[in-house]
Structure 1
Amino acid sequence: MKAVTTTGWGLKARLTLTDRQAPTRLGAEDVLVQVHAASVNPKDWKLNYHAAVLATPLMVNRLPPFFGDDLAGVVIDRGSKVTDFEIGDAVYGMDMRPRTASLAEQARISQKRIAKKPQSLTFAEAASMPLAAQTALQGLRKGGGRPGSRVLIIGASGGVGTFAVQIAKALDMHVTGVCSGRNIDFVRGLGADATIDYTLGDYRQSAGEFDLVFDVTSYETPLTCSALLGKHGHFISTGGQGVSMFGTPVYRLLGKKAGTVVVESWREDLETLNAMVESGQLKPIIDSVYPLADSEAAYQRNRSGRCRGKVVIDLAGD
């Protein structure tokens, strides 16, 4: 089968299209998926380009050469204890232990990590959802978001941010989205009640107080956002940058309401998202679509920091 693998480590790492043997051994609760689409997430290139520089021997030994987390496709085989999916079912999901290896024509994944694809979505749209949309859902939940909560979403126009704005609105929260000026109308179109153009000044000192500050850029900390947090305000980060990843737990030890969302894929959460999709409350935003052979270019697009929504990789020409 055709599959994308990573060659090299650190700043010289590149993605290459190769021929590899298809998965042959299924666990009792695994399904084999013919992958129609996958999507790009910062988690992959951050591991490959940054953590590997610091801990190359460890990363080389633990991370498989295959790439990709999100997938959408069709079940073509199943393990002996798979009871909820049939061959021919259209599904989507991910598994981050450590990777789904979804940039391949076929991928193996546990039935606990997938759900049936919403009928109203294309495979490309469904593939854009698992990591980013579940990060948004689980981050809002971890931060205590509830109907009426005043939520500030930093990075509202990106992959996680576009989902976070829509999900927060679906859960009846009051949403303020932070983005650049060129994306103000776009974020308002997602349903944000208010927007802030971060290029016009340091909004962190003047935007007021919020019940939940959800930083999906990973560049902020509870300290930099302290003026944004109300008396009982909660700070949540996606934790992809070093300062946020290591700093946020320290602030929590000091008694601050702060946390990092470490996303997991669970069928129950995917089905919650399905209900929002089918009710018209949630719509994936696709920035761009690349063929499998151009996966390196897709990741470079994601690294640019200028994406509106998700970058998707099409494996089936759908």
Structure 2
Amino acid sequence: MMMKNSSNLAQTYQSATQMNAIGMTDFPTIGKVVDGLKMIDVPVPRPQAGEVAIKMMASSLYADELYAAQGTALGRFFGPKVVSETEPYIMGSSVAGIIVDVGENVTNWAVGQEIIAIPSQTPVHGVWAEYCCLNQDRLMPKPDGFSFVEAAGIKMAACVSWGAICYGRIKPNNRTLVIGASGGLGIMAVQYLKTLGAHVTGVCSGKNAEMVRAYGADEVVDYTQHNFADLAIQSQQFYDAVFDFVGGIDNEKAGFRALKKSGSYITVTGPVRFIGEKQLSWFELGKVFFHVASKSVLGRISGPRYIFGEMKPAKTVHDALTHAVKHQIKMPISQEIPFELDAVKQALSLILSHRAKGRMVIDFGNV
């Protein structure tokens, strides 16, 4: 889709030399990334060969971006190597916006097109700013029927949840269970599974039960009152697939107890609960990798299957978003955050508390 006032946006971009961005000028202390964020005045980026310049319209907030910045868990591989006043680290990886310039050798993209950015195995950073530049290979058109805020909010959750579901080999009437059903990934998974004809049980706290039912869950288990594995054993109603969006050994053990022998346990977080915020040593990371590898091998031999991770986003994002548009799947947007430092910091603090429901998205508006 082409933006009607794209020529004005392009002219504004060409005349701009400096812009506002949210980021850091010092390496953060573990657990104190939010405190270290600043509104920084930085040069406007210009597209190199194969790149496009994008006027940012919306960007979703993720805890993983903070974990990467502080170098915890797998963030040590993806986080910043240099942070200083002259080389600030700009936050953000979710992109929904409008192309305002194209570099040399760019094909199939033009000024005025509304786009979202496809995530890659290496996270994109530097988009919590008025403008950003990305390689053309990362882009796809913003889905019709989605606002910029909706597109930014659904993109990553759609990729991860749909990718996990692809591993589940779901068939109509399969019994499925979603751990963390009230979170962003869980809400998407519940909706996707229902479109595939599955019977869905969501696991969440009692206060979020009605919301999870509203998005399609056939049953809800309040984890503060019941153990879903005990209920499955008592009723002899076992599951064909368990999708774990929370993680932890306790959930893993319960998930296996609740599964059929031919079933699949799919986790996007692994055996350490909220692994992203943990400062794991190399030895501890090695234990995680060994645990995952051994469980995967044993699952192939004797069942149930154990699968860690989701399909590569580049392979799933198009199908995930196409399916979402076709079936009118939506990500609940709990808050639209203005591009203001205090508002963004407050939203990130709520996300880190693990109390956020739905998705919070920065709306750049007329910035």
1:218 Cα deviation from its structure 2 partner: 2.3
Residues 241 and 99 of structure 1: CA distance in aligned 2, closer, same or farther (over 3 Å): farther
Decide whether the 8 Å contact of 1:131 with 1:263 is kept in 2.
no
- CA gap of 1:142–1:80, structure 2 versus 1, over 3 A, is farther
Larger radius of gyration: 2
Structure 2 residue matching 1:225: 3-state secondary structure: helix
Q: Does the 8 A contact of 1:68 with 1:103 survive in 2? A: yes
Q: Report 1:223-242 matches (<5 A).
A: 223-239=253-269, 242=272
Q: Deviations over 1:5-33 (max 9, x none)?
A: 134231222322111122224242x3221
Q: 1:89 aligns with which of 88, 94, 113?
A: 113
Distance 1:194 1:201, change over 3 A: closer
Change in Cα spacing, 1:181 to 1:39, as seen in structure 2 (3 Å) is: same
Among 293, 296, 308, which residue is 1:252 paired with? 296
Match of 2:319 among 260, 266, 272: 272
For residues 116 and 9 of structure 1, do their structure 2 counterparts lie closer, same or farther at Cα, with a shift above 3 Å needed? same
Q: CA deviation at 1:254?
A: 2.7
User: Mean Cα displacement is larger for which, 75-84 or 168-177?
Assistant: 75-84
Give yes or no for contact 2:53–2:133 (8 Å, CA) kept in 1: yes
Q: Which range is displaced more, 30-39 or 244-253?
A: 244-253
1:124 and 2:142 matched: no
Could you tell me which runs of 5 or more consecutive residues in structure 2 were left unpaired when the two chains were aligned.
1-18, 276-287
Residue aligning to 2:245: 216
Q: CA 1:23–1:307 in 2, change beyond 3 Å: closer, same or farther?
A: same
Give the TM-score normalised by structure 2.
Answer: 0.77
Question: What is the CA distance between 1:125 and its match in structure 2?
Answer: 0.8
Per-residue CA shift, 1:151-177, capped at 9, x if unaligned?
Answer: 211111111111111111122222111
1:2 CA drift (Å): 1.2
Say how many residue pairs are matched. Answer: 315
For the 8 Å contact 1:170–1:281, the answer to whether it is kept is no
Give 1:280 deviation, angstroms. Answer: 4.1
Relative to structure 1, is the Cα distance of residues 231 and 156 closer, same or farther in structure 2, using a 3 angstrom cutoff? same
1:87 partner amino acid: V
1:193 is aligned, of 218, 221, 224, to 218
Relative to the length of structure 1, the TM-score reads 0.88
Question: 2:190·2:215 contact (CA, 8 Å) conserved in 1?
Answer: yes
Residue in structure 2 matched with residue 4 of structure 1 by the alignment: 22
In structure 2, distance between residues paired with 1:229 and 1:222? 11
Is the 2:69–2:75 Cα contact (8 Å) retained in structure 1? no
Distance 1:62 1:213 in 2: 40
Structure 1 residues not aligned, in runs of 5+: none
Per-residue deviation, residues 33-63 of structure 1 (Å, max 9, x unmatched) = 111010111211233346179959x944179
Q: CA deviation at 1:122?
A: 1.3
Greater Cα shift, 151-160 or 246-255: 246-255
SS in 2 for 1:102: coil
Deviations 1:249-304 (A, max 9, x none): 331133351122246443x6333234334334311210112122222222112112
Sequence identity of aligned pairs in percent? 28
- Cα RMSD of the aligned pairs, angstroms, is 2.7
For 1:4 and 1:225, the matched residues in 2 are separated by 40
